[in-house]
Every structure is written in C-alpha cells, then in structure tokens.
Amino acid sequence: MLFFMIEEKTGFSGNPGFQTAAAKDLFSSRPGYRIHPAKGSAVLLCAAALIFGLVPKGALAQDRVSPQVEEAFKKAGIPVLRHRINPVDFSLPLLKGGTAKLSSYRGKAVILNFWATWCPPCRAEMPAMEALYRRFKSQGLEMLAVNCGEETLLVENFIKNNNYSFPVPLDRQREVSGRYGISAIPSTYILDRDGKIILRITGSVNWEDSRLNAAIDTLLKDK
C-alpha cells in the first residue's frame, strides 16, 4: 500500500486521493486529516479566487506533462495532472533562518508538503521523506515541509529531535496554506524543474516505495 487511510477522532474519514481534472480541483481540498474544520468557507473562497482570476493570470496556465514522467508515476499508482499548473508563489521564513521563496527553486524538482506536529500521518511519513531527500538532494530535488500554524519552538524541537534536514518554512498564520486550499494534512504537491505542479496528493505517502522513487528519479532526469 502506498497510502495510509486517515480518520479523525470526530469521525471524519480520510480517503486519500488526487485532484487531476482541472486547476479548480487542484487548489480545493479533498478528505484528509482536518486542520481547521471551521475554515471551510475560507478554503472555498481561496479556491474561487484562483478559479475566477483573483490571483495573477499565470496561476492557471497549463501545458502537458512529459510522457516519460506521466508513465513513471502511473507505474507508481499516482496519476499526474493532464496539464501542468503554475503554482501560487509565496515567501515564508525558514525554521533555520532565511526565507523560502517558491519561485527561487525553479530548476529543481520540489516536493511541497503541508504538515503539523500534532498530525499522526504527517509524523508517520517524515522518516521516509528524509530518506528520499537525502537520496535525491544532490540530483536536484528540493523538499519544502511547510508547517501549518504552530509555534516556532515546538516545530524546532520536533525537527531537532528527529534529525530532519529538509527545509521547514513556517506558515504561522496559515496564509499560504489558505491560498493552496489546505484544510486537510498532510497534503503534498510535486513540482517539476520548470516550477510547475504535476500532481497533488492528499494523505500520508510511503516515500520509500521503489516505484515512487523510480518516478522521482525520472522526474529529475526530465530536463
């Protein structure tokens, strides 16, 4: 199994899935571990803003994913988007200092993950995320693990205690999470070297899966 099923104590069931039909689906939320049930209307507004042009015009530009990348992720059981999507750019402070500006990573493939320390499936996937990051970092993979709304000291202690080395942007006010329509975590976007989104995953992922590692390798070689 590549994905974990998720269920919140309130009885909200998680059924991890993908949003591959159109840009309007990409930035809306699907079932997962809810981070703020009361903010559903805000998420809908964020999605509507993206759909109806309240963000830069380029945000919904589309073009095809390469056949090689599409086939590699298909073998891993992960459908890619029919067309690539330009992400909404952002700048966030990094846990270890400095700033992460998404557009500055163009030229690298990026795993953009949204998480929190209190989220069990987020914690479950992180050791494999670290292993993936260490394996492919020198080949052009970047990983941005965006923490959603927690205190800096709490995040710092968690990352330090687990010896994670991937960059951790701090979305303290959940502004970026809101712009991406994140109301369930973990949620992950994968961007190619052109800085365009090729897929979204809602739910915890087994990043150690050999098929997924092969797909990441293919993505990195697709220049």
Q: Tens of pLDDT along 83-107?
A: 999 999 999 999 999 999 999 999 9
pLDDT for the residue 33: 55
**54, 33, 59: which is closest to 44 by C-alpha?**
54
pLDDT for the residue 15: 30
Q: Which helix (H) or strand (E) holds 215?
A: helix 210-221
What global pTM score does this model have? 0.77
pLDDT for the residue 183: 83
Sole residue written with tokens 């479950």: 124
Sole residue written with tokens 């494999």: 128
Please report the domains of the chain, with CATH numbers, ordered by start residue: 23-221 (3.40.30.10)
Q: Which residues have CB under 8 Å from 124's CB, separation 6+? A: 4, 204
In whole angstroms, what separates CA 164 from the centre of its chain?
Answer: 17
Query: Which residues of the chain have a pLDDT value below 50?
Result: 1-32, 36-57, 59-61
pLDDT for the residue 43: 37
**21, 198, 175: which is closest to 92 by C-alpha?**
175
